Amino acid sequence: MRDEIETGGEAPYLQAGTPAYRRASRILFVAGFSTFATLYCVQPLLPDFVREFGVTPAESSLSLSLTTGILAVALLVAGAISDGIGRKPVMVAALLGAGILGIVGALMPGWHGFLAVRALEGLALSGLPAVAMAYVSEEVDPKSAGVAMGLYIGGTAIGGMSGRVLTAVLTDLGSWRLAVGVVGALAVAAAVTVWFALPPSRHFVRRAAGLPALVRAWRGLLTDPALLGLFSLGFLLMGGFVTVFNYIGFRLSEPPFELRPAVVGAVFLVYSFGVVSSPLFGGWSGRFGSNRTLAAAVSLMVAGLALMEIDGLFVIALGIALFTFAFFGAHSIVSAWIGRRAAVARGQASSIYLFCYYLGSTLAGTLGGLFWHGYGWTGVAAFVGLLLTVAVGVTVGLQRSR
């Protein structure tokens, strides 16, 4: 059976309610789950790395930041590769490569060898996020694409949360090596599942590879005002989201709350809201329009941020939940919108968006620390509020460039 069929749009789209659509949605959820479980599984293991390898806490964080940094840059190339050879083969290779590398990493005796493996994992994982977005945009009926994209993003949310929880539990039961090896094995299983169960591409059109073709595609994408706005939203929204989660734990650890670390760590459980909000907002965008639904999602993020400014534990928890719920909804809307807007080179369009997404995570998340040290939580909230204010302005601008 051929896995990529070049039809140029003649074959029927995956329609909501059909068995093929439901199967594709489930498999994309599995792919997103495995990708982000692999990416973030080392975060709770940093103290274990300090003890075993004798590195500093800052050096231990390289096991995550090196992976995400390589991932962000490699995303710019992964979309172009998938435009040349197809969506499904790239996704399968990404999961399989990351899984095998995860198992190898669990066996590495030295710190530098482990870091090298984690860097290669970032390179391998770059073949999934943007390509999965392009697959949904090409294969799913436009009216149903929002829900399918939402399920994929919901899988990434649960994967990011579960990767942290799973490795923490397995480390308590055995060792960090067991935990990393199990996550790697799960990625291999996900690769096999995607290969056999994900419906083949029927609307994929192979495009010329090489630097000249890449430059032409980028010129077209980066001169579209609407796409530029959508790309910037990736930076702004993810930057604000990561900044909140980087520093809300510090606020809850200090007076007047002084919560224990285990309780503060439970904050990450709100990632589960992404499973609900991503397909929910995706469905609403198909019903009420992407413009209105995106504006509502960004407004809810602002409301959640405002609640976190109040000195009441229950109100802060409600604000975090609302902020998270709205963020994953906004992310799913923008992701699907980019696929519809980019008539050609969808893989590269998704790659640029995700590059901006992770760049926002890196730059804004780090810059937020300056506001924390200088002005405490109020400074952090003001900084995130500024990012969201710009995001509101961009959203209004998108309504004029439909």
The residue with greater pLDDT, 170 or 342, is 170
pLDDT(1) > 50: no
The residue with greater pLDDT, 265 or 26, is 26
Please compute the mean of the pLDDT values over residues 138-163 and round it to a whole number: 76
Listed by start position, the domains of the chain span 15-200, 210-401
204-244 pLDDT, tens digit per residue, is 666 655 666 667 777 778 788 899 999 999 999 998 988 88
Please compute the mean of the pLDDT values over residues 249-273 and round it to a whole number: 73
165-214 pLDDT, tens digit per residue, is 788 778 878 889 999 999 999 999 999 999 999 888 777 666 655 666 66
Fold: same for 15-200 and 210-401: yes
pLDDT(152) > 80: no
CATH 1.20.1250.20 describes domain 210-401: yes
CATH of 15-200, one of 1.20.1250.20, 3.40.50.2300, 3.30.470.20, 3.60.15.10: 1.20.1250.20
Question: 342 pLDDT band (50/70/90 cuts)?
Answer: confident
pLDDT(254) > 70: yes
The residue with greater pLDDT, 350 or 99, is 99
d(C-alpha 60, C-alpha 55), whole Å: 6
Please compute the mean of the pLDDT values over residues 374-402 and round it to a whole number: 88
Percent above pLDDT 90 for the chain: 30
For position 2, what pLDDT does the model report?
45
pLDDT(273) > 90: no
Please compute the mean of the pLDDT values over residues 127-134 and round it to a whole number: 81
Give the chain's mean pLDDT.
83
For position 213, what pLDDT does the model report?
66
Flag whether the pTM goes above 0.75: no
